[in-house]
Amino acid sequence: MHLTIGSILNADSLTEAQTLLDQLSWRDGAKTAGPVARQVKRNRQADLSSVAGKKLRTLIETTLQSHAVFNATARPRRYSKLLISETSGGGEYGAHVDNPFMGRGEDRIRTDVSFTLFLSDPESYEGGELVIDQAGSTQSVKGQAGDIFVYPSTYLHAVAPVTKGVRRVCVGWVESDIPDAGDRELLFDLENLHASLSAQYSPHSPEMLTVSKLYANLTRRLSR
């Protein structure tokens, strides 16, 4: 399942994030790519070790961890370290698939879910669409600033050349409690059904108790 979640950063948080972005220093993005992906990656990566970088990382991490829809979509167990990328002047990121594992030692995670949080207004740059290849068809995504696009890490994807302006995004990965994308979608739909039925039935009604039982037992069975 892939999903755009609108305005995961509210107006105040987005303004703060964009202010912090202007205080960051940047380096060649190919240094953070795997051996195959770095051959097609032409962008810059932010140094998040500065005071501004640490504030930005904390702002985004706190937002993700507290957002109900993001958590229902990704079912996070652990997160990768966040990356902030900047693309301009014809830069792009050619077709690739994300590495199955990222990080080292205790920070090593299996990449089940990928996400792109858009930090630049789409009108401020041309090109730069996130292009998702799914079973021979493609989807182009260019979100509003503050939107996040969440998708399975198994998808082949690319970033189209940025021909004008500057594209800034935050990208990251999740190791999910529910590794299979189809299973995550099933639980997402069931959780939405539970929310809809709660407007019609009391929490202790037979209907709500049955849905709650199904959700709990499926989660138990599908988690690893």
The CATH class, in words, for 3-176 is mainly beta
Instruction: Give tens-digit pLDDT for 63-117.
Output: 999 999 999 999 999 999 999 999 999 999 999 999 999 999 999 999 999 999 9
Question: Quick one: pLDDT at residue 39?
Answer: 74
Of all residues in the chain, the percent with pLDDT exceeding 90 is 90
The domain locations on the chain are: 3-176, 181-222
Question: Quick one: pLDDT at residue 40?
Answer: 85
Q: pLDDT band for 36, please (50, 70, 90 cuts).
A: low
Q: What is the mean predicted confidence (pLDDT) over 24-49?
A: 82
Question: Quick one: pLDDT at residue 191?
Answer: 96
Per the model's pLDDT, the better-predicted residue between 135 and 15 turns out to be 15
**DSSP letter string over the chain?**
--EEETTSS-HHHHHHHHHHHTT--EEEGGGGS-TTGGGGEE-EEE-TTSHHHHHHHHHHHHHHHH-HHHHHHH-EEEEPPPEEEEEETT-EEEEE---SEESSGGG-EE--EEEEEE-S-GGGEEE--EEEEETTEEEEE-PPTT-EEEEETTSEEEE--EEEEEEEEEEEEEEESS--HHHHHHHHHHHHHHHHHTTTS-TTSHHHHHHHHHHHHHHHHH--
Question: Quick one: pLDDT at residue 37?
Answer: 65
Residue 30 in this model has a pLDDT that exceeds 80: no
Q: pLDDT band for 195, please (50, 70, 90 cuts).
A: very high
